[in-house]
Chains A and B, each alone.
Chain A
């Protein structure tokens, strides 16, 4: 967008860009719903002997 563009055009340009960004972010939000229930991490449900902590302990 040219700096010397009329102020209304500049406002409109920024508006479109931010709304497009918000739309993409909204898509990410929809993906969080589609992802569904997040299971507990594997090494929390079972004792994991390969864990760096377990090896050190």
Chain B
């Protein structure tokens, strides 16, 4: 007879049959998270190469990043909800297949607009993966290990962010740009086959129907909003294109709210916002990622323009945050499991706030080491914040809505970064 999950010391007393399963889920989900993060960071560094290869201006080529960003943000919440209805395994593995097909189409692109279209296909798959990864992991791990599980996911994200520029540079130099996308195909294939064998299907809610109207209005709202935030600085906040985007965003948002109130099975159940723990965790995530985006987007400019660092040195200094937060996310998750999420979440944000504020006092006489120390404080804070807030958000909704919770978690990161980038830099970036 298996030891009950809620018995203290169960994990050490006897190995639960679910122990093997939870690590199988972590491997499959980790593959998807790593692939998506690696892809995002590789594509970011490859934009100059793509502009040269296609003979296009960088303002055209940046749609390669933007198409993925808006597609991802527009679909994440709906894909989380879809998984709650039809099953997380089915949705997640379909996401792998679509992402793999999209990657193959990207690698075979004869022109830049084909590539942009293929990136939209990738985004559909990426939304299915991004929205359901956390839900699959949370469902597989016992509640007392939730922080550790979210910490491991945070570490995988950091590894993807760190290795992306190096791997991307090596692939472009040796194999050529198509292989920065084609590298995803064998990963997606192996993970799909592994996932089919290893993952268990969630129960789903077969009696409920997917709200296509709500999902479409939601996608229009988010896409218009992200587009306006991302392009506002470059095109002018009051330009006809951006003004139209704002009007579309506001109209779609209003229509979405009305549709969701009337829908029998809404894409986003508004009742979740009555849960204080959920709405506060979501708000904290949005504010944190928006604020973090300003550090990640501004600091390379500060290092290059003000301190005169060469590009390679900028890359090394910027690796401080993901390197430190990636390692500490593992420890942070274990601390959250042992002592609860409240104190780590609050203390970590004091560290991040202090680290960011200290960056305000960098001037032309500041050394590289002094900048690294300031960014290290931000990295330490983030390492503890991510598992603390992610596990709180994922625990704030009932198990039947884990897909929706995971969708909101991933969405808060994308929307937060898009907002922060609009305020802080106005440059294209898919975020972490």
Contact = CB atoms under 8 A, between A and B. Distances in A.
| A and B interact | yes
Interface of A: 1, 3, 7, 10-11, 14-22, 24-29, 31-48, 50-57
A30 to B, nearest CB: 9
B139 A52 contact: yes
A11 B359 CA distance: 11
A21 B309 CA distance: 23
B399 A10 contact: no
Nearest to A18: B360
Contact of B200 (A14, A17, A32, A55): A55
A35 B277 contact: yes
B420 to A, nearest CB: 8
B262 interface: no
Interface of B: 2, 4-6, 16-18, 21-22, 25, 136, 139-144, 146, 200, 202-203, 276-277, 280-281, 283-284, 287-288, 290-292, 294-295, 298, 301-302, 305-306, 340-342, 345-346, 349-350, 352-354, 356-357, 359-364, 392, 395, 398-400, 420, 423-424
A5 B302 CA distance: 13
Given A25-B288, A31-B287, 20 more contacts: A3-B305, A14-B302, A14-B362, A17-B294, A19-B360, A21-B291, A22-B353, A25-B291, A25-B353, A25-B356, A29-B346, A29-B350, A29-B353, A35-B281, A42-B395, A45-B6, A52-B140, A56-B18, A56-B21, A57-B18
Contacts of A43: 5, 142-143, 399
A14 B228 CA distance: 23
Most chain A Cβ neighbours within 10 Å, of B140, B287, B290:
B287
A32 B342 contact: yes
Contacts of A18: 294-295, 298, 356-357, 359-360
B17 to A, nearest CB: 5
Contact of B277 (A24, A38, A52, A55): A38
Q: Decide if the interface of chain B is mainly helix, strand, loop or mixed.
A: helix
A53 B346 contact: no
A40 B61 CA distance: 47
A32 B388 CA distance: 11
Nearest to B354: A22
Contacts of A10: 305-306
B291 A29 contact: no
B364 A7 contact: yes
Contact of A40 (B16, B143, B354): B143
A35 B340 CA distance: 13
Contacts of A26: 349, 353
Contacts of B364: 7, 11
B376 to A, nearest CB: 16
A53 to B, nearest CB: 4
A31 B52 CA distance: 46
Contacts of A32: 280, 284, 342, 345-346, 349
Contacts of A38: 277, 340-342, 392, 395
Instruction: Give 10 closest A-B pairs by Cβ, nearest first.
Output: A44-B143, A53-B18, A41-B143, A18-B360, A28-B287, A29-B349, A21-B294, A41-B395, A35-B280, A22-B357
A33 B346 contact: yes
Contacts of A7: 306, 364
